[in-house]
Structure 1
Amino acid sequence: MKLFPAHSYQAELQLRFAAVERKLGQSFPGTQIEHIGASSIPGAVSKGDLDICLLVAPERLEACVVALQAQGYQEKQETLRSEALCMLEWLEPAQAHAVQVVAQGSKFVELFIGFRDRLRASPALVEAYNQLKTEWAVQGEDAYRAAKSKFIEAVLAAPT
């Protein structure tokens, strides 16, 4: 798996996020739209993908998923799906991105936004995360994901 240094992808993905944010904002007025994942964290290495969190009232989650699918988004296969989370993908190469539809108040808010905010506030955590990702990227997708999950859990469990 190839990882890219922040300077080689973040500016482009910031622009892509802004474009998608405008589009989602028109489709879901008043909905909180957040840039998440490594591309939202200054200095973070990444696979170069864009992740977006669409925070919705729990009772609106399924309707939002259906509306996104009607726009061309596809539900991401082989990922966690629950009453509080649905991951979708926009697969057009020039604008590829993922949207995590997340129920407000669910544990996934802390997982995506809390983790992002903790790394944004700590260059030392970003450095440790980059090192972990670089070391595990050569071990295969499953090992990489497992190592990242352990790191994320540890960061979220630590006192702020």
Structure 2
Amino acid sequence: MSREALTDDVLGSMLVHGLRPTRVVIVDYDPQWPVRFAARAAELRHILGDRARLIEHVGSTSVPGLAAKPIIDIVVGIDDPDDEQAFIPDLEAAGYELRVREHGHRCLRIGDPDDQVNLHCYPPEDDEVRKYLIFRDRLRASDADRDLYERTKRKLAEREWPDVNYYAEAKWPVIREILVRGGWQE
């Protein structure tokens, strides 16, 4: 799986508000995370209606027992994320803030530190959506992969990052291994 090298220039072209230095905080699993997802999913169904072709809880908070950044990650299937006028104004009116703009993907954020959500908008059949779901399902099914991923995240969280996207990129080799074991094929 080839990926474009992550650089400040690449990030600068995607991030609406530029790079933000960060120290990642990993916390133990919270059984309220699925409850928070369900509330946000209901809100998104109300805001987007039929424009939301799928709404899935993804990322570490979607895996029971897995430590995570306490930010709920949601993927929403939008037919054409590049057509921002078709959905972004409604999300912004509800308090979501556009954070990432790249071809075929928009990421928005909402919430205070106790209830943050990252909302990833992709076409519903996009490979990234499939990867999110395969990865989530593999971590739910495999204690060994869940433990490996948690150890990796905790180790990487020991340092400060010029932007959270560099932290995410540093996890990629382990994510790729787990995706392959989950059945991902290019």
Fold similarity call, TM over 0.5 = yes
Structure 2 CA distance for aligned equivalents of residues 146 and 101 of structure 1:
19
Question: How many percent of aligned residue pairs carry the same amino acid?
Answer: 27
Q: Secondary structure at the match of 1:50?
A: strand
More helix by share: 1
What is the CA-CA distance between 1:61 and the residue it aligns to? 5.4
Q: Secondary structure at the match of 1:52?
A: strand
Q: Which has the higher contact order (CA 8 A, sep 6+)?
A: 2
The residue number in structure 1 matching 2:126 is 106
What is the CA-CA distance between 1:111 and the residue it aligns to? 2.9
Give the structure-2-normalised TM-score: 0.73
Q: Structure 1 residues 113 and 66 mapped into 2: Cα distance closer, same or farther (>3 Å)?
A: farther
Does 1:154 pair with 2:177?
yes
State which of 76, 88, 92 in structure 2 corresponds to 1:54.
Answer: 76
Does 1:24 pair with 2:44?
yes
Letter of the structure 2 residue corresponding to residue 40 of structure 1: S
Deviates more, 1:55-64 or 1:145-154: 55-64
Given that 1:33 and 1:53 are in contact with CA atoms closer than 8 Å, whether structure 2 keeps it comes out as yes
- 1:48-87 matches, within 5 Å, as 48-58=70-80, 62=84, 63-76=86-99, 79=100, 81-87=101-107
Q: Secondary structure at the match of 1:29?
A: helix
What is the CA-CA distance between 1:131 and the residue it aligns to? 0.9
The residue number in structure 2 matching 1:115 is 135
Deviates more, 1:57-66 or 1:101-110: 57-66
State which of 61, 64, 75 in structure 2 corresponds to 1:42.
Answer: 64
Does 1:139 pair with 2:159?
yes
Give the structure-1-normalised TM-score: 0.83
Q: Runs (4+) of structure 1 moved beyond 6 Å? A: none
Given that 2:81 and 2:122 are in contact with CA atoms closer than 8 Å, whether structure 1 keeps it comes out as no
The residue number in structure 2 matching 1:33 is 55
Q: Structure 1 residues 94 and 146 mapped into 2: Cα distance closer, same or farther (>3 Å)?
A: closer
Flag structure 1 segments of 5+ consecutive residues without an equivalent. Answer: none
What is the CA-CA distance between 1:60 and the residue it aligns to? 7.8
Given that 1:52 and 1:99 are in contact with CA atoms closer than 8 Å, whether structure 2 keeps it comes out as yes
Supply the RMSD in Å over aligned alpha carbons. Answer: 2.2
Question: What CA deviation, in whole Å up to 9, does each residue of 1:32-70 have, x standing for no partner?
Answer: 111111010112111211111111223785222232122
Question: What CA deviation, in whole Å up to 9, does each residue of 1:124-152 have, x standing for no partner?
Answer: 11011011111111133366333312222
What is the CA-CA distance between 1:73 and the residue it aligns to? 0.8
What is the CA-CA distance between 1:158 and the residue it aligns to? 4.0
Given that 2:78 and 2:123 are in contact with CA atoms closer than 8 Å, whether structure 1 keeps it comes out as yes
Letter of the structure 1 residue corresponding to residue 169 of structure 2: A
Structure 2 CA distance for aligned equivalents of residues 49 and 95 of structure 1:
7
Flag structure 2 segments of 5+ consecutive residues without an equivalent. Answer: 1-23
